[in-house]
Chain A
Amino acid sequence: MKGMTIIVKTISSWVKVLIFLFGIYIVLFGHLTPGGGFAGGVILASSYVLLMLAYGREFAEENLSLPVASKLDSVGALLFAAVALCGLCCGAAGFFFNFIQQRWFAGQDRAFDLVSAGTIPLSNIAIGLKVGASLFLIILVLSMFRPDTSTNEKE
């Protein structure tokens, strides 16, 4: 796969950065504006998918190789579980307990700040990582599939 024409390549090399930034924005502001970890993760993955479509699979794989993406995927899930487990460990609280907000920001009117809502932004970042990496992996693996034509040609 050689990729598409020079026009598509040039435009997508500009646009991909904007898409990636927009994805990060959606993930980070997930607790304040519409969107969140999942939607942001999908946008993050789509910037790489755009790269894959414009430049070909090999180029995208050079940027984010399969083992690295697979590890990012696991790290995202682990971070999410770690946030949940911290809730279990911190004091007499429960699994998924929002332990940050009650401890440090009690009584302060910090609602609608970027740093607010306790563990929710952390969970969003973890989900964004997980969804972005796994969606990229799914599309990468699907694009690797080629129907086996070699046997038919021989016959």
Chain B
Amino acid sequence: MSVPLPVFVAVPLVTAFLLPIFGKKGKSAATFLANIATIALLVLAIASIGQSNVYKIGKWPIPLGINLVYDGLSSLMLLVISVVSAAAMFFSIRYMEQYTAKAKYLSLFLLMVAGMNGVVLSGDIFNLFVFLEIASLSSYALVGFGCQHEELEASFKYMVLGSIASVFILFGVALVYGNTGSLNMAYISQAIQKSGLNAGLGFALGLFITGFGLKAALVPFHAWLPDAHPSAPAPISAMLSGVLIKALGVYTLARVLFNVFGVTIPIGWILVVLGILSMVAGAFLAIGQWDFKRLLAYSSISQLGYITLGIGLGALIIARAGKDITAEQLAWASLAILGGLFHLANHAVYKSLLFLTSGSVEMATGTRQLKHLGGLAEKMPVTRATCTVASASIAGIPPFSGFWSKLILVIAAIQAGFYWVAAIIVFVSLCTLIMYLKVQRYVFLGELPENLQQTKENKGSMLVAMVFLACLCVLMGLLLVPGLRETILTPAVNVLTGGYSYSADVIKAAGGM
């Protein structure tokens, strides 16, 4: 079955604008409709696995019109986005009852999903920027949704840094347009293959790395994330940490560097260094935190480092080998990228689960300070169980998903000859274990404080969403099984290792030139 690609953008967008019409009375109808939309998107994303096509909007031939491209990488990202958004939306049914203006929240949530789906599908670099802005603007509003002093401050900080990133990206797009005469990514890539990089394009490349790096919160650009992610309502934190920074940052970075500009040795090193910096600094900063959600936010930076490192190692191996790349080198590069992308999918699942459990704890106890919590294991058994699964997964304990992706990264680093990188990966994994043992110790074990004796487990949709994600945490390791791997992960890796062949594929599929 072939799904028309604009549906991925149109469904959340139309639903988002339908919801405010219900007004204050139709809150439950609005919630129902929003959940239908996210679940429908999940079904569509699963249904369209395996197809690869190019969609020309309004039947305009490329490069005149805008095109949407669905390939392996987009398919993986769409799947991740729709899984996390369906779970977070289901969690919101109950969790958002404590806020006013639920319909507005649902609208903004769906707008963010529409923006992210657009970013991963767009084959046109300016259109990518527009969708990126849709997702960013709605996330600025969602971070400040509580309207408390602290939340507004975090939202403002996020908005300032996010806007700087957007200006960088827009400037980069303008330079690329000026130097290649096209906004279509396939045609830009072709122009770059023909004439190589000139000064303007090199500057644009720097602007893209900075801009997308800011959106991805890699370490020198991370300052906004530890404020913004904890301030948002829990399902939104889950969306922001789980998918937004990946769709807007890592995906765009990978797409632009691998498929449009082509990887070179300096770019590979930049990615590796940014990845290692994020991993180490994020982990060290996270261990010292006493705010549950802030700890998770720093941990996101650290985990994002893993993803960037995996992709960067792949880029480095490919760039070093140059044109006459042997099958073995290509296999190790693929393995490194596979590790990065698999970690991306895993991190989306367990980090959103961790944020949802933190929301569950906060709703039941009214605090998220680790020092004021404790002994909740018996009071909140389901939250505890799911949180433990997610913690084990993120720390890399064997049967859980996080172990497999980290193992692949370590193997790839050793095979590529980067023994020190492998050592750092293992070391940061140990730090991760420490910070999540701290979470377990201070939230669920230890003594129950006097004022929390009456704590009750949350009910209904919140539990369903958490258990759903916890099951995925256990089962995600199965994605590596031959058969499943060829349908989801390998096509995504092939898009990146294929490099410039992206442009030829797109142009061929669209019937241009």
A interface residue numbers (CB < 8 A to B):
67, 70-71, 73-75, 77-78, 81, 84-85, 87-88, 93-98
Q: Once bound together, how far apart are the Cα atoms of A70 and B101, in whole Å?
A: 13
Residues of B contacting A85 with CB < 8 Å?
10, 14
Query: CB < 8 Å: which of B17, B23, B56 contacts A77?
Result: B17
Q: Is the interface of A mostly helix, strand, loop or mixed?
A: helix
Q: Mark B416-445, 1 if CB is under 8 A from A, else 0.
A: 000000000000000000000000000000
Q: Does B194 contact A (CB under 8 A)?
A: no
Q: Does B13 make an interface contact (CB < 8 A)? A: yes
Enumerate B9-39 residues with CB–CB distance to A below 8 Å. Answer: 10, 13-14, 17-18, 20-21, 23
Given known contacts A67-B23, A70-B20, A87-B58, is B14 in contact with A95 (CB within 8 Å)?
A: no
Q: In the assembled complex, how far is the CB of residue B219 from the closest CB belonging to chain A, in whole angstroms? A: 36
Cα separation A73 to B4 with both chains bound (whole Å): 27
Q: Are B20 and A94 in contact (CB under 8 A)?
A: no
State whether A94 touches B21 (Cβ < 8 A). Answer: no
Q: Which residues of A contact B20 (CB under 8 A)?
A: 70-71, 73-74
B59 on interface, CB distance cutoff 8 Å: yes
Q: Are A88 and B21 in contact (CB under 8 A)?
A: no
Query: Of B14, B17, B55, which one neighbours A94 at CB under 8 angstroms?
Result: B55
State the main secondary structure of chain B at its contact with A: helix
Q: Does B6 contact A (CB under 8 A)?
A: yes
Q: What are 22 inter-chain pairs, A to B, with CB distance below 8 A?
A: A67-B23, A71-B20, A71-B23, A73-B20, A74-B20, A74-B21, A75-B21, A78-B17, A78-B18, A81-B14, A84-B6, A88-B4, A88-B10, A94-B56, A94-B58, A95-B4, A96-B6, A96-B57, A96-B58, A97-B58, A97-B59, A98-B58
Among A74, A75, A97, max chain B CB count under 10 A is at A74
Known: A74-B20, A74-B21, A95-B4. 5 other contacts (CB 8 A): A78-B21, A81-B13, A84-B6, A93-B59, A98-B58
Distance between Cα atoms of A97 and B65 in the complex (Å): 11
Q: Which residues of B contact A93 (CB under 8 A)?
A: 59
Residues of chain A within 8 A (CB-CB) of B58 are 87, 94-98
Closest to B104 in A: A70
Q: Which residues of B in the span 264-304 have a Cβ within 8 Å of any Cβ on A?
A: none
Judging by beta carbons under 8 Å apart, are B18 and A84 in contact?
no
A73→B18 CA distance, assembly (Å):
11
CA separation between A77 and B55, bound complex, in Å?
23
A94 neighbours in B (Cβ, 8 Å): 4, 6, 55-59
Report if A95-B57 is in contact (Cβ < 8 Å); known contacts: A67-B23, A84-B10, A88-B6: yes
Q: Which of B6, B55, B56 has the most CB of A within 10 A?
A: B6
Q: Is the CB of B57 within 8 A of A74?
A: no
Determine the chain A residues whose CB is within 8 A of the CB of B6 once the complex forms: 84, 88, 94-96
How many Å from the CB of A151 to the closest CB on chain B? Answer: 13
A88 to chain B, nearest CB (A): 6
Report the separation of the CA atoms of residues A18 and B328 in the bound assembly, to the nearest whole angstrom. 74
Within the complex, what minimum Cβ distance (angstroms) separates B392 from chain A? 44
Q: Which residues of B contact A75 (CB under 8 A)?
A: 21
Q: B23 — nearest CB in chain A belongs to which residue?
A: A67
Shortest beta-carbon distance, B191 to chain A, in Å?
26
Give A71 to B17 CA distance when docked, in angstroms: 9
Q: How far is the CB of B149 from chain A (nearest CB, A)?
A: 12
